[in-house]
Structure 1
Amino acid sequence: MSDGNDNKNNFEPVVVRLDESARNEAQSILYHAYREDPTFQYLFDHRRPGYDQRVRATVRELVDLYFEHEQEAVGVMVDHTLVAVAFVGEPELRLNLAQQLSWRIRMVLTAGFASTRRYLEYHEKIRGLLPQPQAHQLPLMGVDPKYQNRGYGRVLLRAVERLCEDNPRGSGLVLDTGNSRYLPFYESEGFRSLGKIRMGDFEDHVLFRQLSEARPAASAAPS
């Protein structure tokens, strides 16, 4: 990891680009961020034994996939501690997730066939909602629970937006959330709804932001 800001106050959030040396820290943050996520709980059946293992396996395989394909990964550090991470997929990668044969095999072996199938079906539904194919994807983003509600989620999201703006291959950014309490936060950042995906007794929201749009004024972030 490198930030080039060694002289900054250690307690100020610093955006860093992540490499594979941050793999374990990133996996830990994302596991704790997604373990209580309604979408993950539905897709990986939290009522069935082995849920924690399926979440860990899925996070691990996704992180490995994005590093393997040399996708962008950014994080926020506070006092030399990584507190938030995000993986950004180029416009084509998440759309072709079902075609990643080695990834699918690893997922089946670690998360199970049923969970892998549901996960792929879920992403195919997201694909059907996209306004145009050239959109960056934000499949993994999380803040360490110990550091939530301090604005680091907004710092991280804006770093992702700047990263995508510098890449002309995509004109927008797509993300999704099964937690409706985050919707005001994303809306304040200029995201609009593309639609909803029914996930049992709740809905997963698919959101899109055109990167050419002016960023709205900041407000308190939920994480």
Structure 2
Amino acid sequence: MIKAELKDKTTVINILSSAFDDNQSVNFIVCDDEKREQRIKALMAYSWEVCLLFGEVWLSDDKRACALLLYPDQKRSSLKSIWLDIRLIIQVIGLTGIGKILKREAQIKKIQPKEKSVYLWFIGVDPQYQNRGYGSRLLKSIILSSEQKPIILETSTLKNLPWYQKFGFQIYGQLDLGYTLYFLKRGPDN
């Protein structure tokens, strides 16, 4: 596992955009119009920027898989984070989607644990290399480097639940948003 550098931004955005193209949670956020593909890339660029400010971006050694980690206890409002949020609204959500996204985020925050944790925001593998162990190796490395903090995540992809559970993640909640969003946590001792 290698820490992503600025030169890796396009690689990370491309991996995540293609890996999450049909993801229910991503498509809930992204305004569905003729610019949908551009909007997904803009969402991943936003996520990259936020993780550079308040987390880390990791790549597999071969750069076929990546993960965006956020440290919620480090997240602060700043001019840059406000500007990123404004760009997210303009480029991804659209003005008409603000209400539903704010409601969704408030519901998610109620369920997420308040303890210090590592938030695994996105983990993705280039689709042409999926199901070959790239994601598993990256997730193992993330678990080993989490410094004894719990790791939390959400997924709307039912088929991914057994994969996360194989690594010690347990479902601790779910939310109905017109699709089911599952909340998973892996304690430091799992």
TM-score with structure 1 setting the length: 0.76
Q: How does 1:198-213 map to 2 (within 5 A)?
A: 198-200=176-178, 202-213=179-190
SS at match of 1:36: coil
Change in Cα spacing, 1:45 to 1:107, as seen in structure 2 (3 Å) is closer
Match status 1:146 vs 2:128: yes
Change in Cα spacing, 1:206 to 1:95, as seen in structure 2 (3 Å) is farther
* CA distance in 2 between partners of 1:76 and 1:117 (Å): 36
After TM superposition, which residue ranges in structure 1, 4 or more long, deviate above 3 angstroms?
93-97, 114-121
* CA distance in 1 between partners of 2:89 and 2:74 (Å): 19
Counterpart position of 1:23: 9
* CA distance in 1 between partners of 2:50 and 2:124 (Å): 17
Pick the aligned partner of 1:90 from 44, 66, 71: 71
Stretches of structure 1 that go unaligned for 5 or more consecutive residues are: 1-14, 214-223
Match status 1:36 vs 2:17: no
Counterpart position of 1:219: none
Q: Is the radius of gyration larger for structure 1 or structure 2?
A: 1
* CA distance in 1 between partners of 2:180 and 2:48 (Å): 25
Pick the aligned partner of 1:184 from 162, 167, 174: 162
Q: How does 1:125-140 map to 2 (within 5 A)?
A: 125-140=107-122
Shift of 1:51: 1.8
CA RMSD, Structure 1 to Structure 2 (Å):
2.3
CA contact (8 A) 1:176 1:207 kept: yes
CA contact (8 A) 2:118 2:152 kept: yes
Counterpart position of 2:43: 58
* CA distance in 1 between partners of 2:17 and 2:99 (Å): 20
Shift of 1:70: 5.6
CA contact (8 A) 1:73 1:86 kept: yes
Residue identity in the other structure for 1:165 = E
Residues matched between the structures, number? 188
TM-score with structure 2 setting the length: 0.88
Change in Cα spacing, 1:177 to 1:197, as seen in structure 2 (3 Å) is same
Shift of 1:104: 1.4
Cα deviations across residues 22-42 of structure 1 (Å, max 9, x unaligned)? 111001001001111121122
Counterpart position of 1:217: none
CA contact (8 A) 2:31 2:39 kept: no
Q: Percent identity?
A: 22
* CA distance in 2 between partners of 1:120 and 1:87 (Å): 22
